[in-house]
């Protein structure tokens, strides 16, 4: 299971994405002396998508893992299509990569080589 964003592959194993609630563009109006209010609803505008992930690709050293994280850092600010690959696949267009937090690692090798635990942060810029 992995993610691809704007054609950039993010290798590893991930948990289910956490989709935030949609922000709405809305303007509320009330008039002095009248009860109630009106709303101009501009619809859904954006929402956060956070993904906890183990970044791994059989890295043979901590330096290889850091290099992969540096390449991922180079993608910050790019806008493109987010593709989730795995048992459940999903494609979402118009998504910005906001960055990631390094939660743990690089962690010494196991059966998957050196790896790091990160939280990827994306911003979906409009409804699908």
Domain containing residue 117: CATH number: 2.40.30.200
Q: Check residue 118 and give its pLDDT.
A: 94
Please write the tens of the pLDDT for every residue from 48-98: 999 999 988 888 888 898 999 999 999 999 999 999 877 778 889 999 999
Separation between Cα atoms, residue 107 and residue 61, nearest integer Å: 10
The model's pTM:
0.81
Q: Check residue 122 and give its pLDDT.
A: 95
Say yes or no to pLDDT of 1 above 70: no
Q: Give the distance, in angstroms, between the CA of residue 58 and the centroid of all CA atoms in the same chain.
A: 23
Separation between Cα atoms, residue 118 and residue 88, nearest integer Å: 21
91 close to 61: Cβ distance less than 8 angstroms? no
Extract the tokens encoding 78: 């790019």
103 close to 29: Cβ distance less than 8 angstroms? no
Q: Are strands 2-5 and 8-10 parallel, antiparallel or unpaired?
A: antiparallel
Instruction: Give the number of domains in the chain.
Output: 1
Structural domain harbouring 79: 2-124
Confidence of residue 27 (pLDDT cuts 50, 70, 90): confident
């Amino acid at each position: 299971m992995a993610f691809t964003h704007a054609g950039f592959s993010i290798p590893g194993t991930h948990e289910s994405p956490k989709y935030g609630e949609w922000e709405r563009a809305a303007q509320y109006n009330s008039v002095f002396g009248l009860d109630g209010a009106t709303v101009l609803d501009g619809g859904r505008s954006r929402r956060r998508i956070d993904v906890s992930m183990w970044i791994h690709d059989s890295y043979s050293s901590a330096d290889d893992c850091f290099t992969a994280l540096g390449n991922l850092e180079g993608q910050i600010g790019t806008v493109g299509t987010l593709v989730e690959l795995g048992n459940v696949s999903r494609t979402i267009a118009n998504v910005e990569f906001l960055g990631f937090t390094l939660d743990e690692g690089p962690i010494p090798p196991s059966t998957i080589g050196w790896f790091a635990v990160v939280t990827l942060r994306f911003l979906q810029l409009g409804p699908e």
